[in-house]
């Protein structure tokens, strides 16, 4: 999994200035943002935090619609078929725009030709967290338990081929262990099952993992980042513990192919301005989400690099789904 660099928020004014007269009439109606996963996941939380600030800047409501299914493919396909006028957007991530095309041979959308990049929103590391009562608090103890029960320790993910799934497969391969995958339809039901003791462990976004572990029952073993995160200063990275597994994801906005450059630039500038809000920043901090904004051109380059990096991971793990 690649390291995602933090992006500066200083480009907001420049982004807004290049929107130009072609975007003067935009938006003419509410802007619909499809989150292609269940409510309560990180993408949903971040987008709902940002929507009011965007709406104030745009002068139109920003409406969030959850449309889950097929590792984000259902909602993503709907946006690919929408009018390219800026009024329908998708919250994409590595799954929708890098991994799905690699693992689903019959995917109903093309992430390269059917979308216009707008801007990234944030990146966030995952935490390796274990269920209450599993009885391990260190990586060595966890791996020892897994080796004593090959193929019996279960791990949750928010879908086959999701970043949470692939991150754990990477750990399994590096540690040379066996575990049983239990996929769910989203991060919220997966983490609920973990907290209830129905599955043994998972890679979960660090913010929700920290919140779940506050009562001391679920245990965070380590962070899948290359360096410690400020919100969990005492939690070591897996790399520090001798297992260099990087587990993280990014989130960004895209529109249908053919979106006018002026509209894409205005939306990117609106996001960058919204991320300056103290209230938005507080929610992002609580979720251990690092704001990351890009121009549409920068995001296009970022997506190309992300597809290449995930391609190497998927080929290495030999994952292919019908």
pLDDT digits (tens, 9 = 90+) for 17-49: 443 444 558 999 999 999 999 898 899 999 999
CA–CA dist 235, 238 (Å, integer): 9
Give yes or no for residue 6 having a pLDDT over 90: no
CA–CA dist 98, 246 (Å, integer): 17
Better-scored residue on pLDDT, 195 or 161: 195
The CATH superfamily label for domain 125-223 reads: Periplasmic binding protein-like II (3.40.190.10)
On the question of a common fold for 12-124+248-317 and 125-223, the answer reads: yes
Q: How many CA atoms lie within 13 A of 234 on its CB side?
A: 3
pLDDT tens figures, 215-255: 889 999 999 998 999 889 999 999 999 999 989 999 999 99
Mean local confidence (pLDDT), 3-24: 43
- Residue 224, CA distances (Å) to 137, 168, 193, 215, 227 in order: 16, 10, 21, 22, 9
Q: What is the torsional sign of CA 158, 37, 316, 137? A: negative
Q: Which two tokens stand for residue 256?
A: 């249908």
The total of other beta-carbon atoms located within 10 Å of residue 233's CB is 7
Which secondary structure element, helix H or strand E, spans residue 265, and what is its range?
helix 261-274
For residue 154, the cross-strand partners are 180
The total of other beta-carbon atoms located within 10 Å of residue 8's CB is 11
Give yes or no for residue 16 having a pLDDT over 70: no
**213 pLDDT band (50/70/90 cuts)?**
very high
pTM of the model: 0.85
Least confidently predicted of 68-72, 176-180, 208-212:
68-72
The listed CATH number (3.30.70.1230, 3.40.190.150, 3.60.9.10, 3.20.20.80) that belongs to domain 12-124+248-317: 3.40.190.150
Annotated domain spans of the chain: 12-124+248-317, 125-223
Do 275 and 292 meet the contact criterion of CB atoms below 8 Å apart? Answer: no
């Amino acid at each position: 999994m690649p390291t995602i660099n933090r992006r500066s928020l200083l480009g907001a004014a420049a982004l807004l200035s290049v929107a130009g007269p072609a975007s003067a009439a935009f938006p003419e109606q509410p802007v619909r943002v499809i989150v292609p996963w269940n409510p309560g996941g990180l993408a949903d939380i971040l987008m709902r935090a940002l929507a009011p600030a965007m709406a104030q800047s745009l002068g139109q409501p920003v409406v969030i619609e959850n449309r889950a299914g097929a590792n984000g493919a259902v909602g993503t396909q709907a946006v690919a078929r929408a009018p390219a006028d800026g009024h329908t957007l998708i919250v994409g991530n590595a799954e929708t725009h890098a991994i799905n095309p690699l693992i689903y041979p019959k995917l109903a959308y093309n992430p390269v030709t059917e979308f216009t990049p707008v801007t990234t929103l944030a990146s966030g590391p995952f935490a390796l967290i274990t269920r209450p009562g599993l009885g391990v608090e260190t990586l060595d103890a966890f791996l020892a338990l897994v080796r004593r029960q090959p193929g019996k320790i279960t791990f949750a993910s928010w879908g086959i081929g999701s970043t949470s799934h692939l991150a754990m497969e990477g750990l399994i391969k590096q540690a040379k262990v066996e575990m049983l995958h239990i996929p769910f339809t989203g991060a919220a039901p997966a983490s609920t099952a973990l907290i209830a003791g129905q599955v043994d462990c998972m890679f979960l976004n660090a913010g929700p993992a920290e919140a779940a572990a506050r009562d001391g029952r679920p245990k965070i073993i380590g962070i899948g980042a290359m360096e410690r995160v400020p919100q969990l200063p005492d939690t070591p990275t897996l790399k520090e513990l001798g297992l260099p597994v990087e587990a993280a994801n990014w989130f960004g906005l895209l529109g249908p192919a053919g979106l006018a450059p002026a509209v894409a630039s205005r939306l990117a500038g609106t996001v960058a301005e919204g991320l300056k809000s103290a209230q938005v920043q507080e929610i992002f901090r609580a979720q251990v989400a690092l704001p990351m904004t890009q121009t549409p051109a920068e995001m296009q380059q970022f997506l190309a690099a992300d597809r290449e990096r995930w391609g190497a991971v998927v080929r290495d793990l030999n994952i292919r789904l019908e």
